[in-house]
Amino acid sequence: MAVVRHSQGKLVRGNVLVSNFNNSANQQGTGTTIVSVSPHGAVRLFARITAAGPARACPGGIGLTTALSILDGGWVVVGSLPTTGGDPATSKAGCLLVLDSQGRVVETFTGHGINGPWDMTAVNFGPVAVLFVTNVLNGTVAAKGAQVNRGTVLRLLVTTPREGLARPRLLHADVIGSGFAEKTDPNALVIGPTGVGLGVRGTLYVADTLGNRITAIPDALFRRGSAGTGRVVTTGRGLTGPLGLAIAPGGDIVTANSGDGNLVETTPRGVQAPVKMVTPGGGGALFGLAIAPDGSGVYFVDDSVNTLVLLH
């Protein structure tokens, strides 16, 4: 999910965009829609994406993931890791789809290390933006459910022109994280490095789901080369397969567990606060996280009841 900071087109300030991972038949890796949810709970369709126009270039078709960011200029970027009928064995490399403020796909980024984009965060710098994208399909399908340590974090530099003047372009791509554990899974489709968030001093925090830990990649904006899996910030204890990750206004790292119904807050020094149970749905119910405007709370998706929740 992503919180809209500025109104433009169908983007309404304060609303939350949520990408749907499943289709109406609940098949994973087949979702094609993004919805906009107001703070009062009104739901509106922002985009329904088909494999037509620029989106035809996405290898394998359309299967949206939790990789979702809003860039300056009203551009929305969403990841696609498509499957046939939700079968992990049919997973394809996918792409990043760029939509305008009206929810129309205008560009597709493929290649350059994009291989199963799973989650994402972005930082805007006026005419350009930096995307940090986790990728989970580097050898996973061929391994047929066995774990491989080839998950990556990409840093992508893209242009963010004013809407109507030009389309965003991918200028450069670098691998800044590598060697993360990943595997296909019949229940979760793919398990691998998931949520990412940029903290103070340019440190990128990564939810290493299979490693059951949070790691830190230093100097993420400017570093040359890969930091591997980075420095371990915290592991185990309250963590049970962290998925979504967000950075709180004070710099703490908030993660959503895949193994239970808890959110965990961790300081950059690795100190975990007492866990907060936010859903009785338990394992597999929590995915995306986003900080509400002005740091007034945390938005999370409770998949057990198909609900977007704001926790104050």
Kindly state whether residue 310 falls inside one of the protein's structural domains: no
Q: How many domains does the chain have?
A: 1
Kindly state whether residue 267 falls inside one of the protein's structural domains: no
Q: pLDDT over 70 for what percent of the chain? A: 100
200 pLDDT higher than 80: yes
Output the six-digit token pair for 9. Answer: 């087109």
What residue spans of 112-230 are helical by DSSP H?
Answer: 140-143
289 pLDDT higher than 80: yes
The answer to whether residues 81 and 97 touch, using CB atoms and an 8 Å cutoff, is no
Domain that holds residue 39: 2-189+200-236
pLDDT digit string, tens, across residues 1-33: 999 999 999 999 999 999 999 998 889 999 999
237 pLDDT higher than 80: yes
Beta bridge partners of 182: 148
**Res 7: pLDDT:** 97
- Extract long-range pairs of 51-54: CB within 8 Å, 24+ residues apart: 53/105, 54/97, 54/98, 54/105, 54/106, 54/107, 54/108
Average pLDDT over residues 176-187: 96
Kindly state whether residue 129 falls inside one of the protein's structural domains: yes
Tell me the C-alpha distance between 278 and 307, whole Å. Answer: 12
* Domain at 52, CATH number: 2.115.10
**Res 304: pLDDT:** 85
Kindly state whether residue 262 falls inside one of the protein's structural domains: no
Average pLDDT over residues 131-153: 97
pLDDT digit string, tens, across residues 262-280: 999 999 999 999 999 998 8
**Res 66: pLDDT:** 95
305 pLDDT higher than 90: no
pLDDT digit string, tens, across residues 210-235: 999 999 999 999 999 999 999 999 99
236 pLDDT higher than 80: yes
**Res 34: pLDDT:** 98
**Res 21: pLDDT:** 93
Q: What predicted TM-score, i.e. pTM, was given to this entire model? A: 0.97
Kindly state whether residue 157 falls inside one of the protein's structural domains: yes
Closest to 14 measured CA to CA, from 66, 70, 67, 65 = 70
Mean pLDDT over the full length of the chain? 95
Say which amino acid occupies 189. Answer: L
**Res 189: pLDDT:** 94
DSSP 216-253: EETTTTT--S--TT-EEEEESTT-SSEEEEEE-TTS-E
Q: Which residues fall within 8 angstroms of residue 129, CB to CB, at 6 or more apart?
A: 71, 72, 122, 123, 157, 158, 160
Kindly state whether residue 134 falls inside one of the protein's structural domains: yes
The answer to whether residues 81 and 117 touch, using CB atoms and an 8 Å cutoff, is yes
**Res 24: pLDDT:** 87
281 pLDDT higher than 80: no
90 pLDDT higher than 90: yes
294 pLDDT higher than 90: no
Kindly state whether residue 194 falls inside one of the protein's structural domains: no
Kindly state whether residue 80 falls inside one of the protein's structural domains: yes
Q: pLDDT over 90 for what percent of the chain? A: 89
